[in-house]
Amino acid sequence: MQKLPFLVWYKTMFLMSCTKKGFSTNEIQKQLWLKRYEPVWSMVHKLRKAMGNRDARYTLEGMIELDEGYFSVASKEVERGKGTRGRGAEGKQNVAVMAESTPLEDIETGKKEKHVRYFKARVLDSHESEGINELVRDCMENEAIVFSDKSTSYVDISDLVELHITEKSDAKTTRETLKWVHIAISNAKRTLLGNCHKIKRKYLQLYLNEFIYKLNRRYFGDKLFDRLVIANITGA
């Protein structure tokens, strides 16, 4: 694999941090006038891994929304060069998304809204409760209050956190109780679809790392570039 000079890494980190949506690997290759795609692809994924490592250092606390979304990924048949490449060529991958979300009420107007802080997203290998339990242990504080729907995969959450509140999954729950989680899922799907032609299942977490990293630092402005450089120098 070709080793790219530090200046190329530096410019790539700038491109990845200068917009909310980011750039595809093809676009980065084009912007930097690089001949070969493979070393650029490898570099970008290493940067995304560093973003995930940085966010993995922190756990969510307070009131947390939890739900799952299905993301389109290239099916195994297409990955191996088999099967159809048109309609029906994509599969679905389950992703758990979490958001620190605190209800607030305006004393003067009585209007209620939610203040959101940090997010996490984790690709799930299965729908079993064991995977959800591991997710909760890794990503949430023990004193957290978790809001979710009544999925059978969530049956043990109450044993792992301070309080687990469930509601029937419907339009109201999506719009109010799990508002920020579903906004994040919708925006992530739109961002990934806009930047990537297709994503293999095994790389989906890396793409989500980049999206969540930027989302958690949405108010950093031009400081995001400096933070990304530090995250990649330290490797965490």
Q: What is the CATH number of the domain that holds 139?
A: 3.30.420
194 in any annotated domain: yes
Shared domain check, 169 and 113:
yes
Q: Is the dihedral of CA 208, 209, 212, 213 positive or negative?
A: negative
Shared domain check, 116 and 42:
no
212 in any annotated domain: no
- Cα gap 183→40, rounded to integer Å: 31
> Whole-model pTM?
0.87
24 in any annotated domain: yes
pLDDT above 70 covers a percentage of the chain that reads: 87
Per-residue pLDDT tens digits for 115-157: 899 999 999 987 788 999 999 999 999 999 999 999 999 999 9
Shared domain check, 70 and 15:
no
Number of domains within the chain: 2
Shared domain check, 21 and 131:
no
3-state SS, 95-148, equals EEEEEEEEEEECCCCCCEEEEEEEEEEEECCCCCHHHHHHHHHHHECCCCEEEE
Distance, C-alpha 148 to centroid of its chain: 18
Residue 122 structural domain: 63-202
- Cα gap 78→89, rounded to integer Å: 7
1 in any annotated domain: no
Per-residue pLDDT tens digits for 189-222: 999 887 777 789 999 999 999 999 999 999 888 8
Provide the token pair at 54. Answer: 């940085």
Beta strands 145-149 and 63-74 are parallel
Q: At 125, is the secondary structure helix, strand, or coil?
A: coil
Shared domain check, 140 and 41:
no
Which residue in 72, 20, 27, 52 sits closest to 206, CA to CA?
A: 52
